[in-house]
Copies of this chain bind each other. A is one copy, B any other.
């Protein structure tokens, strides 16, 4: 008797208000995790994609992901998928984004996908040392055509990332361990896609308690095009920013989902 059958027998006593039907009557559901992994490379926001090697959607790019394994927690599965493609330390920041389960989203069978959002500092190309057939960073705002509903998942991930920068210190997860205020501003400008006023941003960041803390050191040299050496900071202990750094003049119709 298989694991599946044994449990279904137990479930036969289940009363209507709990299940209303016997799960055995229906085809199984595949549960996967997909990861929207974002990084900044050369001042451009990039997303990690893998190329599909077989139908359906052969040749198209897709978000890295795969089936959850027995006994494996969901964030654990997302970290594993990410590590398999990038060699990225499984300790990177990762958070649940949303779950997609439209019956038509995969032509083969019913697939429910839990998406995760990951932020990472600039990483090496994923090919070397990875078991991925083809994986690469692509510009997040101009990705190739994506398989299934992954374009929608990516769009949701980008909007979440933009919103999270406002009220959390997650921008620091895109930088190295220490960073200058200018580098931090670059993260905001890249993710939000808008230029920010350097002076006001500087004062604002330092005024938010726990956002950054001084290291006491400065950069070795000035900027490549001149300027004084900037002070170096590391991430503070705040988990929320107060007051928040609001995006400038949003027309806003989004995020009200």
Residues of A near any B CB (own CB < 8 A): 2-4, 7, 10-11, 13-21, 23, 26-31, 50, 52-54, 66-74, 84-85, 95-96, 98-103, 108-110, 112, 114, 131-135, 167-168, 239-240, 242, 250, 252-257
Contact = CB atoms under 8 A, between A and B. Distances in A.
Tell me the number of copies of this protein: 2
Instruction: Say whether chain A's binding surface is mostly helix, strand, loop, or mixed.
Output: loop
A68 B101 contact: yes
Given A4-B27, A108-B10, A253-B240, A66 B99 contact: no
A63 to B, nearest CB: 11
Contacts of A15: 53-54, 133
A96 B98 contact: yes
Contact of A19 (B50, B66, B133): B66
8 contacts: A17-B133, A17-B134, A20-B66, A68-B101, A95-B257, A99-B99, A167-B255, A242-B252
Given A17-B133, A253-B240, A99 B102 contact: no
A29 B20 CA distance: 17
Nearest to A81: B20
Contact of A28 (B17, B28, B71, B112): B28
A251 to B, nearest CB: 10
Given A7-B109, A114-B112, A256-B168, A74 B99 contact: yes
A29 to B, nearest CB: 5
Nearest to A250: B242
B257 A240 contact: no
A103 B70 contact: yes
A50, A131, A252: most-surrounded residue (chain B CB, <10 A)? A252
Contacts of A71: 103
Contacts of A31: 29, 31, 101, 112
Given A17-B132, A96-B98, A240-B253, A73 B23 contact: no
A103 B73 CA distance: 6
Q: Which 9 A-B pairs have the closest CB atoms?
A: A239-B256, A28-B28, A74-B101, A3-B27, A99-B99, A17-B133, A29-B31, A7-B109, A71-B103
Contact of A99 (B108, B114, B133): B114
A16 B133 contact: yes
